[in-house]
Chains A and B, each alone.
Chain A
Amino acid sequence: MTTTEFGIVYAVHIITSHFGSVASKVCECLLRRGPLSSREISRLAESDINHSKVKDILYLLIQHNCVQAFSIEPPDGSESKAIVQYIALFSNILHRARYNKFSSKVVNEELGSQCSGVLDGLLSNGRLTLEQLIDRDRDSKKQMGSEAIRDSLQKLVAARFVERVPSPEPVLGNKDEGPAQKKRGAKPSKIFKEPESLEERILEAATPVDAIRFPFIFEQGSSSTVADDDSNISEGKRKQPEVDYTSGPSNEVIWRPNFEELIRRLRHKACVEIVKERRDEGCANVMKAMLEVGRSQEKKAKTDKSVRTPIFFSVPMSMGSIYEELIKTDAGREMTQERVEACLEQLSATSSYLPAFVIESDGSYIVDFKSIISVAQKDEMESVVMRRYGKEAFRMFRYLSQEDRFVETDKIADAALTEKKDTPQILLKMWKDGYLHMQKLAVTGVYIPFLLWKVNKLIVSRQMLDEMYHASLNLSLRLTHETDSEKELLLLPMEKLEGALKERRNKYRAKSVLLTSARFKLDDAIMLFHDF
């Protein structure tokens, strides 16, 4: 999905909050205009920023994984040099607003507080070597010790929450590789998503093979694994970068958070939650086991880059492997095989109310992520329609979603049991805000054309996503406003406050908690539409 207007505004706000307004101008230039060279940014950015400053900011944003450099191979026979361009990584910028989720909800739960402490270091600094992590730990109040840091980093890499940094300046071929030309080696499975956009091509070219990206061997010493020189990073062509920011001072591996895996775990957690809400605890336990089985099977299969992380479906798995995984947990041990089979049957069932969450085929089971996520997306859409436009609009919206085709106004009124004279106004309101698609149908002999209405899920999703970015920005701005309004009060120590001042301080705290937690939950909804 291309970035929406408020997506850009929100991303720029995040960069401003974290790196200041000059950095945000560079970022905004890239987000609005697409990939540019540093000279072009210097020329085009609002309030001309000199070239040297632009380069500094670009290095800062690259350090923090918000920008990726690349170049395109000049045409054959051309004498021109490939120009380095920069592309803003919109998703990574948005991830900055959810770093605490990666730490607390994913890594802390799975690997413990030491690992989440190491991840926090990588998240706040963008990318670090092991040595830098150890140095950082020495300066902190609660020291973990170098052994614990090394051990935690190894666990994080093994779990793929941390990866080696990608190639600093991958070179893309200038020929457009169509699907017919892409078949090198094993044909990618149809259940995996093919890279399409320029950003995806760039990231694909920059990402090393798994064996290098998540090195298995992890020895002590400064050259802990194969160093980050160009020959090891990518299969594609490389050129000497202008500044070598791939390796640390002693040629160590540079590590950074692997957002792909962190988001994947959040998606899995969301799927388990959705199954728990819509089915029951038993089905949720079975789903959790299936996701775990899927992850270990994918890990074994992933020896090269051509096997990408599945987006829409899991790998197929047997009932036996699901049950074996399930009984590793306390809750799973209470479930008999019959109960598990019943849950799988429930998860595979389709009704007009819920789609199937699992596909059963010849005794194998596949998790249908798209189906599970679509249920939560539908809930979000319908909740907004209900709150913003009312019960009648809600019925109309649900009717049109079911029909999934153009329907005439009167038919909608009949189905939704609403007043025929009021129905057009309700539909027009939703249409004006982008929640419905409308077409006029002129019929011979009828003076007023018929109006036909439809819910176009892609258009509504995009509209909602834009509004959610807008809302997230609003929550952040409101929190800043509340904090600014009480900045003098906040300077006073809490224990010295009494009476009205204490009450005001408590009220500020309650507002702050409400705004922060609302933004936290809204971000879950944003991930449903953008990341999952």
Chain B
Amino acid sequence: MSTRRRPAAPRSSSSGMTENEKKILGFIRSKQGMGATKYEITAGTSIQQALVTKATTSLKKSKLIKEVSNKGGKHFLAVEFEPCKELQGGDWYVDGALDVSMIEDLKEICVNILERLKQKVVTLEVICSCFQKASRDEYKLSRDQTKVILDNLVLDNVIMEVKSNGSSEHSALRIGEVCYKLIGKKSGGGEARDGAFASIPCGACPHIGLCTPDGAISPTTCVYYQKWLDF
């Protein structure tokens, strides 16, 4: 008779599990793509934290659940579910990381649209329809997603949001309708001034709090001043 041990059969969802594990797995499955944290599992199943930890470790080993980490902590999901967008961070996250290059591309597209249409007033709908005609699927943004990108450009101080006031420029629009314009003299929008303080080394200096007239960091020893005056 062979003395080799037969490899253990993989545990099915219903066999070889403790009662706690079954209860916890059921709870996690009920959360689908949102998953559940250890705290939520403890609260939802009334099982002690230590036992939850033991059970989740076991379920992970059995490949019945997986772990997804984000800012809110570790979430456990049943393997058959994909993590939802909120768990990954949102619309703009891919594999848990912000897709910065895609966001920058989308912002550039918005700026190009506004530049092309600078003689006209551009509403959210107009920009949205431009995105809908995009060749790449990931650039086909919804209305809400387009608004997020435009709001971000407003925060970048690249475009401004204006409300139609019935003047000749906005004659084709309802009063109060939101539209967008590029910032800058050429586009007819005003320009923010470059700050006087920001244009000298002290304005940009991260160590200004440590700088004193006679200290180790001082205007006479400052390397930023040295570079600024080195022309």
- Say yes or no: A416-B197 contact (C-beta < 8 A), given A474-B202, A474-B219, A477-B220: no
A433 interface residue, CB < 8 Å from B?
yes
Q: A433 to B219, alpha carbons, bound, how many Å? A: 19
When distances are taken between beta carbons in the complex, the residues of chain A under 8 Å from B229 are: 478, 482, 511, 514-515
CB contacts under 8 Å to B, within A327-374, are: 345, 349, 351-354
The CA of A477 and the CA of B222, in the complex, are separated in Å by: 12
A379 close to chain B: CB less than 8 A: yes
Given contacts A388-B206, A418-B98, contact A352 B161 (CB under 8 A): yes
Q: Does B204 contact A (CB under 8 A)?
A: yes
With A and B bound together, what is the CA distance between A9 and B218 in angstroms? 14
Shortest B37–chain A CB gap in Å is 10
For residue B128, CB closer than 8 A to chain A, the reply is: no
A230 contacts the other chain (Cβ, under 8 Å)?
no
Interface assignment of A311: CB less than 8 Å from any CB of chain B: no
Question: Which residues of the other chain, B, contact A391 by a CB distance below 8 angstroms?
Answer: 156
Whether B39 pairs with A445 at a CB distance below 8 angstroms is: yes
Report yes or no: A416 in contact with B190, Cβ–Cβ below 8 A. Answer: no
Which of A243-251, A290-298, A520-528 lies at the binding interface? A520-528
Q: Which stretch of A80-88, A190-198, A200-208, A463-471 is in the interface?
A: A463-471
List the one stretch of B56-64, B130-138, B147-155 in contact with chain A.
Answer: B147-155
Of the residues B70, B156, B203, contact of A383 by C-beta under 8 Å: B203
Query: What's the least CB distance linking B122 to chain A, in Å?
Result: 15
Question: Roughly how many angstroms separate A433 CA and B208 CA in the complex, as a whole number?
Answer: 9
Decide yes or no whether B17 CB sits under 8 A from chain A.
no
A475, B198: Cβ atoms closer than 8 Å:
no
Select B155's contact among A279, A416, A471, A475, beta carbons within 8 Å. A416
Q: Which residues of A contact B154 (CB under 8 A)?
A: 352
Cβ-defined contact, A352 with B160, below 8 A: yes
B95 located at the interface, meaning its Cβ lies under 8 Å from any Cβ of chain A in the complex: no
Collect the chain B residues with CB atoms within 8 Å of residue A416's CB. 152, 155
Interface residues of A in 482-532 (CB under 8 A from B): 482, 507, 510-511, 514-515, 518, 521-522, 524-525
A9 and B183 alpha carbons, distance in the complex (Å): 39
Tell me, yes or no, whether A387 is within 8 Å of chain B by CB: yes
Of the listed residues B89, B165, B192, B231, the one surrounded by the most CB atoms of chain A closer than 10 A to its CB is B192
Interface flag for A382 (CB, 8 Å)? yes
A416 to B, closest residue via Cβ: B155
Contacts of B209 in A (CB 8 A): 433
Assess whether B200 is in contact with A481, with CB atoms less than 8 Å apart: no
What sequence of 0s and 1s flags, for each residue 177-195 of chain B, a beta carbon within 8 Å of any chain A beta carbon? 0000001000001111111
Nearest A residue to B167 by beta-carbon distance?
A345
Alpha-carbon gap, A399 to B92, bound state (A): 18
With contacts A388-B204, A420-B70, A511-B229 known, is A525 near B219, CB below 8 A? no
- In the complex, the chain B residue whose C-beta lies closest to that of A383 is B195
Q: A520 → chain B, closest Cβ, in Å?
A: 9
Q: Which of B65-105 contact A (CB under 8 A)?
A: 70-71, 89-90, 92, 97-98, 103
State how many angstroms separate the Cβ of B114 from the closest Cβ of chain A. Answer: 14
Q: Does B205 contact A (CB under 8 A)?
A: yes
Number of interface residues of B (CB under 8 A): 53
A481–B163 Cα distance when bound, in Å, is 53
Q: Is the CB of A415 within 8 A of B193?
A: no
B196 contact from A352, A481, A524, Cβ within 8 A: A524
The A-contacting residues of B in range 91-125, CB under 8 angstroms, are 92, 97-98, 103
Give A372 Cβ to nearest chain B Cβ, in Å.
12
| B7 contacts partner chain A, Cβ-Cβ < 8 Å | no
Pair A388/B231 contact, Cβ less than 8 Å: no
Interface string of A270-281 (1 = CB under 8 A from B): 000010011100
CA distance A433 to B162 in the complex (A): 33
Complexed CA–CA distance, A474 and B229 (Å):
14
Residue among B161, B213, B222 with most chain A CB within 10 A: B213
Q: Which A residues touch B197, using CB under 8 A?
A: 380, 383-384, 464, 467-468, 471, 522, 525
Give the residues from 406 to 439 in chain A that come closer than 8 angstroms, CB to CB, to chain B. 410, 414-421, 433
- CB of A442 closer than 8 Å to a CB of B: no
For residue A8, CB closer than 8 A to chain B, the reply is: no
Q: B residues within 8 A CB of A510?
A: 231
Residue A395 CB within 8 A of the other chain: yes
Query: Which residues of B come within 8 Å of A, CB atoms?
Result: 39, 43, 70-71, 89-90, 92, 97-98, 103, 148, 151-152, 154-157, 160-163, 165, 167, 183, 189-200, 202-206, 208-209, 211, 213, 218-220, 222, 225, 228-229, 231
Closest A-B pairs by Cβ, 4 of them: A383-B195, A278-B190, A383-B198, A471-B202
- If A473-B213, A525-B196 are given as contacts, then 18 extra A-B residue pairs at C-beta distance below 8 Å, sorted by A number, are A9-B213, A278-B191, A279-B190, A353-B183, A380-B195, A380-B198, A383-B197, A395-B156, A416-B152, A417-B148, A418-B98, A419-B98, A420-B98, A467-B202, A478-B222, A481-B219, A511-B229, A525-B195
